Chain A
Amino acid sequence: MQFGVFSVSDITPDPTTGRAPTEAERLQAVLRIAEKTEEVGLDVFALGEHHNPPFFSSSPTTTLGYLAGRTQRLQLSTATTLITTNDPVKIAEDYAMLQHLAGGRVDLTLGRGNTGPVYPWFGQDIRQGIPLAIENYALLRRLWDEDVVDWEGKFRTPLQSFTSTPRPLDGVAPFVWHGSIRSPEIAEQAAYYGDGFFHNHIFWPADHTRRMVDFYRRRFEHYGHGDADQAIVGLGGQVFMRKNSQDAVREFRPYFDEAPVYGHGPSLEDFTRETPLTVGSPQQVIDRTLGFRDYVGDYQRQLFLIDHAGLPLKSVLEQLDLLGEEVVPVLRKEFAARKPAHVPEAPTHESLVAAQIAQQEVTVR
């Protein structure tokens, strides 16, 4: 099982001081967080894509390309890559480029994006969000899987004899996760292609996540990619830890109360009960996270949101220390002990290359 962190790249004032980091400071902080993610023994760093303040990450492949050069082991991913407003040709090129630079340590999570003006800014219509996601991904798939593509669709200029370069490393495209909080069409899309399904698992109650994942698993089986329990599932999650749980609650509360996404609404206690947010000791995070398996089954990737709402870099790095030293080693052991042998691990470049070789051998024979 893979463990990591994901960042939305928000630049938010620290509510305890009133001071917001500069863009430059926040950008450097996110780079430090990513490097630390590898140093403490976690597997994945995923970065969001936004095209409006207060976010800085308009160009995730630039950032991830830099990180590819600064890390050795870390899997680089996105949370999410906008499949609706990016040209799928540019996604195919950028992520194949990144895949080569990172020696294959790349996958991506596709999402539609819910910031209304981004669609018209990029020449699109938000009401076409689902059709855009479906058509653009169908083209992206072909650009990676076929050397020469003729294409005509509704949303972009037709292509004749187009070859997307560089070709995917070793002839194997980066693994794709499809992220959606509540759209069955996107879970259906993930199932159809046999791709991964990632549920944000931050903003909605567990029962909702359970229903979406269960749906994806059933459809994955329906489309013949394996049994439902072999589908590839990733979850988000949100934690803040201190050795002593009362300290965690006391320190996190002002950040929760002022958080751009849910501040000034439910209490920290209400939100902790209603959603997977866990604020407390490392043991509480271990227990809660192991419980996710009870409603989504054995899954392949767990990403934590730890760096938003104006939390200072020092606190975020301390979260990574706790994850690396106390939480993830236990989670690895406990999840592995529960996982049956027929449930696959999250695909990596190596496993996808091996699968391709095995497939070719079957075909030759």
Chain B
Amino acid sequence: MRTLAVVSAGLSTPSSTRLLADRLTDATVAALGERGVAARPEVIELRDHARDLADHLVTGFPNAALRPVLDTVAGADGLIAVSPIFSASYSGLFKTFVDVLDRDALTGTPVLLGATAGTARHQLALDHAMRPLFAYLHATVVPTGVFAASEDWGSSAELAERITRAAGELADLVAARPAATVADPLADPTPFEALLRGA
């Protein structure tokens, strides 16, 4: 069983960001199923942790509500991350979440990016803002990002096609990798002699 972490940074309830995240999740689970891989999604609504995230910024540690969320993302086999576009970029809440992740939490993790906005004029934020952020985190981002403007929910079948294509790309990457493991430096320490030699 693989774990898919799904991070949605939408602020309203219900939100079109969550709607897109759910579509991407269902499509990815289905695509993995076609490849013979069972996957369990773990959905994280960042709105539920807005206060926890602000507290983390101030105190420097995740509280008891936030800690398992960070562990879920760090231990996931794949990540679907969806943010609304505010002021030409991902939302502040979304970036705050990324800021409190452990430095190596997403190294090598397959990631599918999605974004929502009121109009299609914001769509380049997906590739000009979100994609470099995940490059910095050393994540493996699938080629197709999925942007949904309000109008996409009413008219075209193109959104569904993009969702299917992106989900297939994420499923390919997840299925091709061994199940994720989380390194625990306290369980497997660097012996002191090695630290001394490295000094």
Binding site for B on A (CB under 8 A): 130-132, 134-135, 138, 153-154, 184-185, 188-189, 191-192, 203-205, 208, 211-212, 214-215, 219, 223, 261-266, 270-271, 273-274
Known contacts A203-B59, A265-B54, A266-B58; A184/B199 CB under 8 A = no
Report the Cα distance A214→B189, complex, angstroms. Answer: 13
B107 CB within 8 Å of chain A? no
B142-168 CB mask vs A (1 if < 8 Å, else 0) is: 000000000000000000000000000
Spot the interface stretch: B3-11, B24-32, B60-68, B93-101.
Answer: B60-68
* Distance from A254 Cβ to chain B, minimum over Cβ atoms (Å): 17
CB pair A184–B64 under 8 Å, yes or no, is no
Q: Which chain A residue shows the least CB distance to B67?
A: A205
CB pair A192–B192 under 8 Å, yes or no, is yes
Q: Which residues of A contact B58 (CB under 8 A)?
A: 262-266
B186 CB within 8 Å of chain A? yes
Number of A-B residue pairs with CB-CB distance less than 8 Å in the complex they form: 65
B1 CB within 8 Å of chain A? no
Known contacts A131-B198, A138-B199; A219/B189 CB under 8 A = yes
Q: Which residues of B contact A153 (CB under 8 A)?
A: 199
Q: Which residues of A contact B196 (CB under 8 A)?
A: 134, 138
CB pair B64–A215 under 8 Å, yes or no, is no
Choose among B60, B61, B186, B198 the residue that contacts A215 (Cβ–Cβ < 8 A): B186
Binding site for A on B (CB under 8 A): 54-55, 57-61, 63-64, 67, 185-186, 189-192, 195-196, 198-199
* Distance from B184 Cβ to chain A, minimum over Cβ atoms (Å): 9
CB pair A131–B55 under 8 Å, yes or no, is no
* Distance from A297 Cβ to chain B, minimum over Cβ atoms (Å): 16
Q: Which chain A residue shows the least CB distance to B191?
A: A188
Further pairs besides A132-B199, A188-B195, A219-B189: 18, Cβ < 8 Å: A134-B195, A135-B199, A138-B196, A138-B199, A153-B199, A185-B195, A188-B191, A203-B60, A204-B61, A205-B64, A208-B61, A215-B186, A261-B59, A262-B58, A265-B55, A265-B58, A274-B63, A274-B64
| 9 contacting pairs across A/B (C-beta < 8 A) | A130-B195, A134-B199, A154-B199, A188-B195, A189-B192, A205-B61, A205-B63, A263-B58, A274-B63
Choose among A188, A208, A271 the residue that contacts B189 (Cβ–Cβ < 8 A): A188
* Distance from B198 Cβ to chain A, minimum over Cβ atoms (Å): 6
Most buried by B among A154, A211, A265: A265
* Distance from A138 Cβ to chain B, minimum over Cβ atoms (Å): 6
Q: Which chain A residue shows the least CB distance to B186?
A: A215
Known contacts A262-B59, A274-B64; A131/B199 CB under 8 A = yes
Report the Cα distance A215→B184, complex, angstroms. Answer: 11
CB pair B199–A265 under 8 Å, yes or no, is no
Q: Which 3 A-B pairs have the closest CB atoms?
A: A265-B58, A192-B192, A135-B199
* Distance from B144 Cβ to chain A, minimum over Cβ atoms (Å): 37
Report the Cα distance A212→B190, complex, angstroms. Answer: 15
Q: Which residues of B contact A266 (CB under 8 A)?
A: 55, 58-59, 63
Report the Cα distance A130→B198, complex, angstroms. Answer: 10
Q: Which residues of B contact A203 (CB under 8 A)?
A: 59-61
Report the Cα distance A363→B60, complex, angstroms. Answer: 50
Report the Cα distance A271→B64, complex, angstroms. Answer: 11
